[in-house]
Structure 1
Amino acid sequence: MVKLIRDRWQRWVNRRIPRSDQRSFGQRNIFILPTGAGVVFGVLLLIMLITGINYQNSLIYLLTFLLGAVVVAAMHQTHRNLSGLELALIQAGEGFAGDPIAFRLRAVSPRHDTLALSLACDDEVLNQQHIPSGQQEDLTLSVPSHQRGYLQPDRILVETRFPFGLFRAWSWLRPVTAGIVYPRPLSAPEMANTVQDGEEQSTSRSLDGNDHADIRPWREGDMSQRVQWKRFARTGEMVITDWEGEQGSPHWLDYDAFVGVDRELRLGYLAHQVLERSRSNGRFGLNLPGQVIEPETGAAHTSRCLKALAVFGLEQPRGGESLAFGTRAGEGAGLTSHASGEGTL
């Protein structure tokens, strides 16, 4: 019964406050109720009134009605404090799974000062924000993230208890724009990718038919068989031999390289590799089923790859426009409709 009432209440609120990145608060969408302190204060006024009636004491009547007038004035002021406020989402944040994602909002109060404004989403709360009349203030609210993908808060609570805390006026902002949550980076084992760069592969072979080898520093997760132990014994430097004949092009991070590994683990490994290549300013591309991002360098390229990993296999939330991250179709373009939103934002 309680669940039924709650579901009906939520459906009614969702109809009354549809999704939008911008909301102006007024009589239609502001709710107000007494707080716990307000209820106790009202009970005390009732006791005082009964006492005044019992003893026919004019001073008790005077004090009771005076405090009652204060309560009524506080109710109107609390509602007025939120009325007319305009709140807009100006930037949905990005970050890694498990970290709080910052959402930037802009608040404008054209009629009067808005005092002691609070914003909340789940357990994250932003308290005591003051919006001067006619001015705009940018507020940053952290939204908890638990898994990769799109982060679209169902409701951002907007409330005030000014001036006396006897009443609570509140409403919600239900944003359309979603944040992006990247996969949590996981240290990746050394695996052979399956992507070949045609021209580079044709020139990477030595004249005698041997595979071309690259030497690089050892990283956690590398197989011990690839360590140059003789060189380590001579110089104390631990390096790895990368054979292009075994690994394909060194410029590619390949989803299909991690055979038999769960999808979320693969994406975590790839996110770790993307960050490693970015820190070393290495040129790299990303190969995902149905989507390929060509090798490039720079912060914009790193962000593009992380976003592609974040939304891989997921559908865009309603109200957003899908934008492809890939630059050409991959060989696995024949995925099922379940993954039709791969690589889009």
Structure 2
Amino acid sequence: MNNLFRQRWQRWINRRIPRSDLQTFSQKTIFILPTGAGVVFGLLLVIMLLTGINYQNSLIYLTTFLLGAVFVGAMHQTHRNLSGLELSLIQPGEGFAGDDIPFRLRLKAGRDDAVAVVISCKDSRHTPVHVRSGQAEDLVLPVHSAHRGYLRPDRIRVETRFPFGLLKAWSWLRPVSAGVVFPRPIAAPDSLSLVDDGEESEQARSVDGNDHADIRPWREGDLSQRVQWKRFARTGQMVVADWEGEQGSPHWLDFNAYPGVDHELRLSYLAFLVTERGKSGARFGLSLPGQMIEPEAGPAHVARCLRVLATWGEERPRDATVEPHGTRRQGFLRSSASIKEGQA
């Protein structure tokens, strides 16, 4: 019975508040109810009224009606605190799975000041904000993520209990835009890419074994085959040899370089390698089933590769289906089916 009531309530809310990155709150979309303190306050008013009727005491009548007028005035003020307020999603965030993804929001007050307005989403809550009439204020709401993929909060709640905390008025923003959650980086084992570099790889193989090499310190993510182990045994220094034939040759990060490994773990390996190449400024390419990014270097290239890893095999969330903490679970089934079809 509770689940049935909750589903009907959610459908009614969804019809009343459609999805949009900009929501202006009005009488149609603002809900108001007494808080716990407001319920106790109302009960005390009823008791005082019954006492005044029983004893025919004018002073009790006066006090009861004055406090009742305060309660009614607080109800109007609490509702007006949200009336005309605009809440918009400026920029959905990006980050790694397991982290809090920052969503940039903007509050713009209407004709009246918006006092002590609280923005929240599930377990995340922003400190109360005071926005003066006609002005706007930007804020960042962290949304927790658990899996890679698209992350779109089902509802972002806006609430106020101003002025006395006797009533609470609230509403929601149901955003359309979704953030992107990257795979959590996991240190990748040594492996060789299966992608053919064409002429560059042939040139690199033709000079393999020559003595013209640049020696540099070992960096995390370098292949063990490049480490000068004899020199390490002799001096204790971990160094790597870059052969002349490999200078400028792209280093491919290949999805198929980890056979027998779960595809989510492969993506985590690739995310680790992408971040490491980004730190070193190395030039690299990314190869995924059905998608390939040509070798480049730089922060923009790293960000592009991470987005591709995050959304590989995923679809943007639709209005009817919202996956909490990301879309990895649905993407896992789709991508697994595609891999099986490719193997068949």
Q: TM-score, normalised by structure 2?
A: 0.87
| Whole-Å separation in 2 of the counterparts to 1:244 and 1:265 | 33
* Moved beyond 4 Å, runs of 4+: 207-210, 212-227, 240-245, 335-340
**1:86-235 paired onto structure 2 within 5 Å:** 86-206=86-206, 217-218=217-218, 227-235=227-235
**How many Å apart are 1:209 and its aligned residue?**
8.9
- In the alignment, which residue of structure 2 is the partner of 1:236? 236
**How many Å apart are 1:216 and its aligned residue?**
6.0
| Whole-Å separation in 2 of the counterparts to 1:202 and 1:304 | 28
| Whole-Å separation in 2 of the counterparts to 1:207 and 1:111 | 74
| Whole-Å separation in 1 of the counterparts to 2:200 and 2:91 | 41
CA gap of 1:297–1:71, structure 2 versus 1, over 3 A, is same
Partner-residue secondary structure (3-state), 1:127: coil
CA contact (8 A) 2:183 2:268 kept: yes
Root-mean-square deviation (Å): 2.7
| Whole-Å separation in 2 of the counterparts to 1:52 and 1:88 | 49
**How many Å apart are 1:128 and its aligned residue?**
1.3
| Whole-Å separation in 2 of the counterparts to 1:297 and 1:336 | 28
Partner-residue secondary structure (3-state), 1:103: strand
CA contact (8 A) 1:315 1:339 kept: no
| Whole-Å separation in 1 of the counterparts to 2:202 and 2:188 | 28
| Whole-Å separation in 2 of the counterparts to 1:213 and 1:314 | 43
Amino acid corresponding to residue 77 of structure 1 in structure 2: Q
CA contact (8 A) 1:86 1:107 kept: yes
Deviations 1:262-320 (A, max 9, x none): 0110011000000100000000111011111111111111100000000011111237x
CA contact (8 A) 2:190 2:224 kept: no
| Whole-Å separation in 1 of the counterparts to 2:10 and 2:268 | 35
- In the alignment, which residue of structure 2 is the partner of 1:23? 23
Q: Is the helix fraction higher in 1 or 2?
A: 2
- In the alignment, which residue of structure 2 is the partner of 1:327? none
Higher RCO (CA < 8 A, seq sep 6+): 2
| Whole-Å separation in 1 of the counterparts to 2:101 and 2:138 | 16
Deviations 1:209-230 (A, max 9, x none): 98x9986644668787775332
| Whole-Å separation in 1 of the counterparts to 2:55 and 2:183 | 71
| Whole-Å separation in 1 of the counterparts to 2:208 and 2:82 | 79
Amino acid corresponding to residue 281 of structure 1 in structure 2: G
**How many Å apart are 1:73 and its aligned residue?**
0.4
- In the alignment, which residue of structure 2 is the partner of 1:301? 301
Deviations 1:131-170 (A, max 9, x none): 1101111111111111110000000000100000000100
CA contact (8 A) 2:102 2:140 kept: yes
- In the alignment, which residue of structure 2 is the partner of 1:259? 259
Instruction: Give the count of matched residue pairs.
Output: 322
**How many Å apart are 1:240 and its aligned residue?**
5.2
- In the alignment, which residue of structure 1 is the partner of 2:9? 9
CA gap of 1:200–1:254, structure 2 versus 1, over 3 A, is same
Q: Which runs of 5+ in 1 are unaligned?
A: 320-334, 341-345
